[in-house]
């Protein structure tokens, strides 16, 4: 299965991504900073910004499942 993980560098994503790889899934990590992503070697990395629709062109092509692990806690002081 081809699986896209948003938030792959976060706490949950950094645990989920290697687990998916160990189950022999084809894993794609979506990140804002591809060079700064420090995940398993067997993971494809795609650089995109979820709030920028143009950066998402083609990202979901041929993807069977998506884990959306992105939060907005750092977006401002009124998160609660």
Segment 19-33 shows an average pLDDT of 96
Above 90 in pLDDT, residue 17? yes
Encode 55-70 in three state secondary structure. Answer: HHCCCCCCCCEEEECC
Domain with 12, as residue range(s), is: 2-68
Q: Would residue 76 count as lying in a domain?
A: no
Task: Find residue 26's DSSP bridge partners.
Answer: 2
Task: Give me the pLDDT at residue 71, please.
Answer: 73
CATH number at residue 32: 3.40.50.720
Task: Check: pTM over 0.75? Answer yes or no.
Answer: yes
Tally of structural domains, the chain: 1
Q: Would residue 78 count as lying in a domain?
A: no
């Amino acid at each position: 299965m081809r699986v896209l993980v948003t938030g792959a560098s976060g706490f949950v994503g950094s645990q989920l991504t290697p687990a998916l790889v160990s189950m022999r899934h084809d894993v794609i990590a979506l990140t804002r900073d591809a060079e700064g992503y420090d995940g398993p070697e067997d993971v494809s990395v795609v650089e995109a910004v979820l709030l920028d629709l143009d950066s998402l062109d083609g990202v979901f092509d041929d993807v069977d499942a998506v884990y959306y692990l992105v939060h907005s806690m750092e977006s401002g002081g009124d998160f609660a």
